Amino acid sequence: FFFNSKTYIIIGLQHSERLFPISEEGVISTRTFQKPMNLYLYIPPQSAHQDGLMKGIVYGELKRYLWQNTKREDYIKMVSKFFQRCLKRNWPYKRLYRIFIDANRKLADSKSSQATQNATMSQEQHDNEGNKKRDRVFLKLKFHPNYIPRKKIRELYEEELEDVLRDQLGVNQFTICYSRAQNISDCVVRSRLHQAEGETVSTFLGGVT
């Protein structure tokens, strides 16, 4: 059915003449490739990560699958596999189903709205976007499941600081964001090897003593 097929690390590129109307150069169709030994160790629901992290993971994976798979049926196949793997990580079916539905809807909405924005966005709107960023303040905290809730922080801000920051600094938007806490991999895995002073690889390969 396919010919001239070659598998790469991330995706398989396939040259097809039967599935698509083709030009003289032919048509390239793509689909996601996953390594056979991949363990798919997605975070479980018992994890101490912030609540929205799984939503971000699902949205990111679906967005990647949508970009990588030319055919709709390949995209659906990958999403179904992803859903089953998350279920095996002990995610409740109903909760997971809602996350997937919301992510897929968000992807569809962003795809259509992006095309409209690109056609209508003017220089004046770009300038307004820049001004909005200057009117915004962020409170960044390290996430912990037992920390003060986001809702309480916002209530305190509205009671104590909102009027002062708006009147004196022109702040119109307050955003609370979280960074993840340090985990085991940060302690046991190094992103680079230790380099002893005066013992670089180039020293030995270059014959310098």
CA angle 36, 180, 87 (to 5 degrees): 40
Contact 34, 85 (CB under 8 A): no
- More confidently predicted of 193 and 99: 99
Mean pLDDT of 9-32: 54
Q: What is the pLDDT of residues 113-155, one digit of tens each?
A: 655 555 555 555 555 555 555 788 898 888 877 888 888 999 9
Model pLDDT for residues 57-84, shown as the tens digit of each residue? 999 999 999 998 988 999 999 999 999 9
The 10 Å Cβ neighbour count of residue 69 is 20
Overall residue count recorded for the chain in this entry: 209
- Is the whole-model pTM more than 0.85? no
State the DSSP string of 194-206: ---TT--HHHHHT
